Amino acid sequence: MANKETGNIRGPGPGRPVGSVNKITGSMKEMILQAFDKAGGADWLAKQADENPVAFMGLLGKLLPSDIALSGGVALQPITEIRRIIVDPRATVEQEQTP
């Protein structure tokens, strides 16, 4: 029986495979990579990090969460102690440093 809305007999087709890149997205990514190579590649990017740190950190924020892959060399220590120290706000720096 035909679908009245689409006219398909068996239903919708298979569509694009899961995880495949959109044609426009793929071509834009290729153009951006070509422009990056022409600008100087990693050396240019390091220069941008020094000259425009806000923009560079924004770029890292967009890229790193999806690209970080930790090797076995990182050992994280759990927090085992939390201290609260009450300090007199009227005390001077010299008074705080004396035992």
Residue with tokens 């892959």: 69
Q: Please give the residue range of the domain that contains residue 47.
A: 41-66
What is the per-residue pLDDT for 98? 56
What is the per-residue pLDDT for 24? 80
Across 6-33, average pLDDT: 77
- The count of structural domains within the chain is 1
- Burial 43-57, CB ≥16 within 10 A → b, else e: eeeeeeeeeeeeebe
Task: Record the pTM.
Answer: 0.42
In a domain, 59, yes or no: yes
In a domain, 3, yes or no: no
What is the per-residue pLDDT for 6? 62
Tokens (6 digits) for 47: 């220069």
In a domain, 53, yes or no: yes
In a domain, 50, yes or no: yes
